[in-house]
Structure 1
Amino acid sequence: MDNGHTNNGVKCLAGTGPWKLSEHKRNQYAVFSINETYWGEKPKLKSIRWNVLPDAQTMLMALQKGEIDLIFGADGDQLTSDALSMLQKSHSLSVSLSEPIASRAILLNTKRAVTADSTLRLAIAHAIDRQAIAKGVLNNLEEPAPTLFARNVPYCDVDLKIREYSPQKARDLLDQAGWLASQDGIREKTGIKAEVAFYFNAQNAQERTIAEVIQADLAQVGIKVNLFGEEKQIFLDRQRSGDFDLQYALSWGAPYDPQSYLSSWRIPAHGDYQAQLGLPNKEKIDRLIGDFMIEMNEDKRQALVSTILEAIHNADVYVPISYSRTKAVHTPSLKGVDFKVSQYEIPFESMYFESGNQP
């Protein structure tokens, strides 16, 4: 480490895995070669070159031209669902999807002027058509998510009241809460317009499209959504500052859900923490998460998670959208492409090329 911290740079790299970094050019590429002293079975590939490409379209073109062999990832930074569906139909490349692995949701910031209203947050949950998003944007490649975590996630088989899609229910809730229609179509309460800012990663075309659908859904019930696409680092910095009304959230997936993801809710640098700050029971929720992290009794652990999920669900901090999958698109000659438990791991060690096709 330089000056005692990794953020200042590192002087050398050390590890015990099957690969070692042999060449690196910042923002261009990294080359990994076999670690000859690896204690386990050696990889079949001689080396891996990891290219940095600016956007999903460039990645797709590079794959189609044979300049790269694999695109692998869990979100729309790599390839949109439209592109995946097109490739599945063309059969020119191999396309694989993992089982549902993480949760995609929208954060509603409880400490902002408009979204601090719990009834308005509930109305938003009823106004968003997640089925239409799953079908029209995600091409049925992801399942609509009725709750933040799927019921097969450990400790998350909890009975929660589902927010069914109902624009009329949303309108009724807003009327009851005093958010009344005005001449310009935007609801208003005590001089405050029902107008919110939705920030997303501009490099993620899929996030943009989902945001546009949500913008249209909320316009139908009198809530104006202003969309802001930002560079990824600015988007991440905004999470840390809490300077947003609506923003995307993606859980960490197996094996980190729910324990590690819940634990991150207590960290101010995370958007989840910032979005929950306006809750009157935020301190209690954080304390329960801390208790869960050290509790050894399984029944007590289950009870703690149930209480946490009920509190967050009933507060409508999250609008669940879908359960995401990891996607892999590769040249047909590349074999052994599979998925690990974690969405963050790529099993390069199991991959190989058919005889005579090694680049």
Structure 2
Amino acid sequence: MLAALGVWVSLDNKASDPLAEVLDIASPLEISGLEPAKSGYLFTRMQAAETLFIINRERQLVPQLVENVEVSGDGLDWRMDVRDSVMFHDGTPLTAEVVATNLRRALARPGVLQNTPIDEIAVDASSVVISLREPFALLPAFLAHYSTLMLAPSSFNEAGDITAIVGTGAYQVNEVVPPLRIELSAFDDWWQGRANIEQVRYLAVPRGETRTMMSQSGDADLTLSLPPVATEQLASDPNINLQVVTIPRTRLLKLNTAKPFFDSAQERQALSLAINREALARVVMRNPDLAAEQLFPAAISGWSNRQLAPLEYDPQRARDLLNEAGWTLGDDGYLSRDDQRFEVTLRTYASWPDLPLLATAIQNQLAEVGIDLAISVGSYTEIPAGHQDGTLDLALITRSFSMVPDPLATVMEDYGPGGADWGAMNWVNDQAFGLIDQLSVSTDADARDAQLQQLTTLLHAELPTIPVVWSELAVAASKRLEGVYVDPYEQNYYLSDLRWVQE
């Protein structure tokens, strides 16, 4: 990581050129390539490329590259006009045919559109018409996902592979050097007006302490996703404005409910009762308010259910429930049932630095109720691999509910039939599956609210996954910058709104 920092300093020595008009951004997110499904989130957040819909600052899902959206009475046909006068960075116009081509490509490849009932994508003059096999109220949310971003035909080679990011956003991509760097400049003909800052440079810096040093030294003007310990260091820095917001992301335990240790709600409730969330949030996350009282934090409007009793810490009640489930404490201090020891392995990964720390603390807490928990820290890929081959006992993961800007999209995947790599595993609940199906087609606000309350209540009682702590997003901005806004849905950095402070 010092090498990464060295690259940064060699690219822009701010000490020798304090008036340089390059906005330097440091983030932990590496560039996996040019495919939207892999790295599209970076190009949309950097405002290099745009989607048909977007979440605005009021947390409303609104049209972006389309307008006059009409839905047929049976909910099967969606007609949307492509916005006039939108130009790609190569000077070609955004047309209905180009939109349809991009959507067809996204539908044919692995990504969120494969989870929709899209039957056909057609063009009618300046409109795109999407026909569905069945009603699907979430379509606009899926069309706000980064994997559906719009690219000019010049972005593709003859084989259909992406060779350049030629989008419609406020900034045009000049150079991409995976996995570390993106260079951009303001696009003169952006349909919403030219951005204020001329040049932007993005650098992926995985280590939190390195990003903190870059913020303190002034080598980064905007530093994203700072670790909790860094917020304490930077809060008193006179040259930095620090913003911290709660985001729709939860650290949780993913359980293999086919295992005899977790195959009943009673056992899962006992596991939950053995976890001291307040202590974890206070010591590891540096904020006791991040103790997850339920799966969805208050940042997720409509999904955070105020009627639910908060998840509690009660180790004695945990012991009682486990005893009722037939687990008895042996002389060695650990539980067993039918000659089977309560011995499981928790998988986690270090790309989120707090996860191994949380895992160690949870290991100690579960030992207090007789659970022998081993920890395996490896690649994040070991979680989906263990889900697919059935070898996973449990895992400590972080799960965002805003990748598609309606949490239902993630819930459908994670808690629907079959579960998901980052969701429930071998959990079957027909009532939950039915509620998810109803929500996916519901357009009546009152009915939707009632269905949401039932579903969140059921997930809270059944605990197919166990919430541990919620998450914050900490961003440090140089006081040379004004107009900084931290998007809790992590969809947009709003770079076009930034300005250099005039001295």
Q: TM-score, normalised by structure 1?
A: 0.86
Cα drift, residue 143 of structure 1: 2.8
1:247 counterpart = 2:396: yes
The equivalent position to 2:420 in structure 1, one of 264, 270, 281, is 270
- What residue number does 1:40 align with? 192
1:88-107 to 2 correspondence within 5 Å? 88-91=235-238, 93-107=240-254
- What residue number does 1:164 align with? 312
Q: 1:317–1:338: structure 2 CA closer, same or farther, 3 Å change rule?
A: same
Cα deviations by residue, 1:70-127 (Å, 9 ceiling, x for unpaired): 2213xxxxx3212212221444533111245443332233123422243221111111
Higher deviation after alignment, 237-246 or 312-321: 237-246
Cα drift, residue 51 of structure 1: 0.7
- What residue number does 1:301 align with? 448
Question: Which structure has the larger Rg over C-alpha atoms?
Answer: 2
- Letter aligned with residue 165 of structure 1: Y
1:127 counterpart = 2:274: yes
- What residue number does 1:196 align with? 344
**Distance in 2 between the 1:195 and 1:31 partners?**
50
1:290 counterpart = 2:437: yes
- Letter aligned with residue 484 of structure 2: V
**Distance in 2 between the 1:335 and 1:153 partners?**
28
1:340 counterpart = 2:487: yes
- What residue number does 1:67 align with? 219
1:216 counterpart = 2:364: yes
- Uncovered stretches (5+) of structure 1, i.e. residues with no partner: 74-78
CA contact (8 A) 1:101 1:326 kept: no
**Distance in 2 between the 1:348 and 1:122 partners?**
44
CA contact (8 A) 1:181 1:187 kept: yes
**Distance in 2 between the 1:66 and 1:233 partners?**
35
**Distance in 1 between the 2:436 and 2:297 partners?**
19
Structure with larger RCO (C-alpha < 8 A, sep 6+): 1
**Distance in 2 between the 1:192 and 1:165 partners?**
26
**Distance in 2 between the 1:305 and 1:160 partners?**
12
The equivalent position to 1:153 in structure 2, one of 293, 301, 311, is 301
Cα deviations by residue, 1:34-66 (Å, 9 ceiling, x for unpaired): 122210032211121111223222222333333
Identity of aligned residues (%): 22
Cα drift, residue 131 of structure 1: 0.9
Cα deviations by residue, 1:226-280 (Å, 9 ceiling, x for unpaired): 11222234445545656341332423249835322222223868335442x233x
Aligned length: 347
**Distance in 2 between the 1:267 and 1:17 partners?**
38
Cα drift, residue 184 of structure 1: 2.4
- Uncovered stretches (5+) of structure 2, i.e. residues with no partner: 1-33, 36-104, 111-159
CA contact (8 A) 1:101 1:254 kept: no
The equivalent position to 1:259 in structure 2, one of 408, 419, 431, is 408
